[in-house]
A and B are shown apart, each in its own frame.
Chain A
Amino acid sequence: AQKITQTQPGMFVQEKEAVTLDCTYDTSDPSYGLFWYKQPSSGEMIFLIYQGSYDQQNATEGRYSLNFQKARKSANLVISASQLGDSAMYFCAMREAYNFNKFYFGSGTKLNVKP
């Protein structure tokens, strides 16, 4: 089974609107971390936001928030007030406590922000 599943290969959003990028994960480890990275066309991987499996609150970082639904094993990224500079690939990733040396990445979602 896939560890991380991103079902949206591409998304469009109008500038200044909010957008949700989906991510579901699969693990039997009770302790894990969930991450979102942004990869612009220049290619670098930019860390956006982190959610620990034991965190009670959903993580937020500026315009980014993580909608963490543990029972459903989903960790969707919400970007509020989209900007043109948000156009990029977005990757969801997971790291498990018992297998900490591996990050599992999804296949990514390409977000296009329209003016």
Chain B
Amino acid sequence: NAGVMQNPRHLVRRRGQEARLRCSPMKGHSHVYWYRQLPEEGLKFMVYLQKENIIDESGMPKERFSAEFPKEGPSILRIQQVVRGDSAAYFCASSGSVDTGELFFGEGSRLTVL
């Protein structure tokens, strides 16, 4: 029973390049969340998606960031024209229901922008 799978675990990009982070939720989960953790800080909410729908993207920067969760395949967080300030750990989480219960986190993708 695989947990939340994220890849790549580590990604290095130069300024101006694109970063794509993938997340496969736990089996049976249809709710996906992306969080960002800057160094020495807690996680900050970015976006909440269900299959083919963005439900809440209030935590996403207005430019360069986008997310999708297609009908088939993993959820993708895409960062265009990366800048040094995008260097962070990006965590994906999933849940099977909409309530106050636990989110199951992946191991995170660590983006380093040179």
Contact = CB atoms under 8 A, between A and B. Distances in A.
Main DSSP-derived SS at the B contact region: strand
Interface size class of B (residues with CB under 8 A): 20 to 34
Residue of B48, B91, B98, B102 with most chain A CB atoms under a 10 A cut-off? B102
A44 B99 contact: no
B102 A107 contact: no
Given A43-B108, A45-B108, A103 B100 contact: no
Contacts of A4: 42
A47 B104 contact: yes
A45 B91 contact: yes
Given A91-B42, A103-B33, A107-B41, A43 B89 contact: yes
B55 A100 contact: no
Interface of A: 4, 31-33, 35, 37, 43-45, 47, 50, 52-53, 91, 93, 95-97, 100-108
